[in-house]
Amino acid sequence: MRLSRYFLPVLKETPSEAQIVSHRLMLRAGMIKQSSAGIYSWLPLGYRVLRNIEQIVHEEQARAGHIPMLMPTLQSADLWRESGRYDAYGPEMLRVEDRHGRDMLYGPTNEELITDIFRSHVGSYKDLPLTLYHIQWKFRDEIRPRFGVMRGREFLMKDGYTFDLTKEDALHAYNRHLVSYLRTYERMGLQAIPMRADSGPIGGDDTHEFLVLADTGESEVFYDAEITDLKFGDRAINYDSVEECQAVLEEFTSRYARTDETHDAAEFAKVPEDRRRTARGIEVGQIFYFGTKYSEPMGATVADADGTRVPVHMGSHGIGVSRLLGAIIEASHDDKGIIWPEGVTPFHAGIVNLKQGDAEADAACQSLYDSLKALGLDPLYDDRNERAGGKFATMDLIGLPWRITVGPRGLKNGVVELTSRRTGESEELPPEQAVQRIASIYGTVNA
Ligand code: ATP
Ligand code: MG
């Protein structure tokens, strides 16, 4: 993309309404624009990152064997009356009436809808296990929408639903989700710690929340510092293996890690004092096993091997896709702007032309641009007639991990400058080598 032809409405001033750094930076970098309280338009740069996050979620869901689909945002109130949640959910649910006077609602979550789909089409234990998920907009009329996309009213969520014949199978589905989430967040450059949590209005027995440590997080968390040394990495795992998933779950959840809702001071005191940490965290996902809570009242049953109809065991598993943008920025920025992890960056590299209009500099930039494109990478070429300082400030603000700077002086010696946004370190090297370096970095990230 050429910046002169792109739509990147960066703000010079720091918006006064934004209280936390991720919200400020998303507004300043021209990623989002508020349309009303807690509801945002996703401008092109923000939309690119949102799509990249979705893509990682889809890829990791596929790896775990989960099946994508799409359910609507507007739902009929009737299904929610069947489960008993129409009245229970409270004012966070946005209720609307259609022209025929039928009660509808903008879905805050999808347990009822998916259970209805399941009971209409699945009748035998032979069709289990089954995991269906979608990535869809949700609406919750939060009493205090704030912090930009972190606590919106309209927000994008991945929600997956598992159906199993027995509790044991359902717990494997739960463990499998925990493992696949560890990998999902790490690919986004995040450490998200699974913590024992409270089940809230979804209801359930087993539940973990995934928290990203950040001072601006809304949850108070208590954990054993050893947890932050754990990395899932790129280990190969067989998601069908009960033992393998169980082992990873134990590795990542055996140390103390809880939110304030489930915090137990006596248990916490057993952690050696020098490892005890109290901090704040951002909830970026949650997994639940809730047994037959919905399948029983809604009649989602299957025939077991003896032909007896039994209610299925269910779980639901969510990732806060739009909230993740805020969480990633909270975890990765400096005073100049955002620092995107390679896994989610909106463009792989920026090209800064120090002397737009200089035939040699223009040609070198164009050639870098074409070479990166030919390798399947997406560069952002700042081809505007602006001073170098302004171009650098924009690149730093929007946070592309790599910048190639091209100017007549370097070109005389056959070199361009490759700069890491994270470390600020620069290196001079021939243009072809800069391209190769970037290609190899992303080759590793996307492997
Ligand atoms: P919270 O406790 O933050 O209100 P929740 O526990 O009610 O969230 P879940 O039902 O577990 O939310 O939804 C799954 C994920 O969706 C959450 O882990 C979070 O990342 C995201 N999410 C929930 N509410 C919002 C919101 N208002 N804005 C943005 N993301 C949200
Ligand atoms: Mg939650």
Answer yes or no: is 342 within a domain: no
pLDDT reading at 447 higher than 50: no
- Same domain flag for 432 and 371: yes
Last residue of some domain: 305, 337, 369? 337
Is the pLDDT assigned to residue 197 strictly greater than 90? no
Characterize the bridge pairing of strands 337-338 and 333-334. Answer: antiparallel
In-domain check, residue 44: yes
Q: Are residues 253 and 275 in the same domain?
A: yes
Residue ending a domain, among 337, 363, 396, is 337
Residue 188 to residues 182, 212, 321: CA-CA distances in angstroms?
10, 12, 11
Residue 138 Cα to chain centre, angstroms:
15
Q: What is the CATH number of the domain that holds 386?
A: 3.40.50.800
- 135 and 45 fall within a common domain: yes
State whether the beta carbon of 24 lies less than 6 angstroms from ligand 1: no
Q: Is residue 133 part of a domain?
A: yes
Residues 407, 352 within the same domain? yes
Number of domains in the chain: 2
- Write the residue with the smallest CA distance to atom 15 of ligand 1: 320
Does residue 316 sit in the same domain as residue 409? no
**Protein residue whose Cα sits closest to atom 7 of ligand 1:** 200
259 and 165 belong to one structural domain: yes
pLDDT of residue 17: 86
C-alpha to C-alpha distance for 118 and 83, rounded to whole angstroms:
14
Q: Which domain holds residue 392?
A: 347-445
Question: Are 305 and 395 in a shared domain?
Answer: no
Q: Which is it for strands 219-224 and 257-259: parallel, antiparallel or unpaired?
A: antiparallel
Mean pLDDT value of segment 380-408: 97
Q: Mark whether 435 and 355 lie in a shared domain.
A: yes
pLDDT number for residue 204: 52
Which of 22, 159, 202, 283 for mutating ligand 1's site (highest number of atoms within 8 Å of CB)? 283
Question: DSSP label at 348?
Answer: S
State the closest ligand 1 atom to the C-alpha of 145, by its place in the atom list counted from 1.
27
Gap from CA of 59 to ligand 2 centroid (Å): 22
Could you tell me the CATH number of the domain that includes residue 26? 3.30.930.10
Alpha carbon of 283 to ligand 2 centroid (Å):
7
Where helices occur in 204-358 by DSSP H, the ranges are: 242-253, 265-268, 295-298, 321-331
Q: Is 428 in the pocket of ligand 1 (CB under 6 A)?
A: no
- Same-domain pairing of 306 and 403: no
How many whole angstroms from 235 Cα to the centroid of ligand 1?
A: 29
Q: Which atom of ligand 1 is nearest to the CA of 142?
A: 27
C-alpha of 339 from chain center = 16
Prediction pTM value: 0.96
388 within some domain = yes
How confident is the model over 376-405, as a mean pLDDT?
97
Q: What is the pLDDT of residues 338-365, one digit of tens each?
A: 999 999 999 999 999 999 999 999 999 9
Which is the closest atom of ligand 1 to the Cα of 284? 20
Atom of ligand 1 nearest to the CA of 319: 15
Q: Are residues 314 and 364 in the same domain?
A: no
Residue nearest to atom 11 of ligand 1 (CA): 286
> Domain boundary residue among 284, 307, 337?
337
d(C-alpha 350, C-alpha 93), whole Å: 43
Phi (first) and psi of residue 207, to 5 degrees? -155, 140
Among the atoms of ligand 1, which is closest to the Cα of residue 153? 27
Residues 240 and 384 in one domain: no
pLDDT of 124 above 60: yes
Per-residue pLDDT, averaged over 375-404, amounts to 97
For residues 219 and 83, membership in a common domain is answered with yes
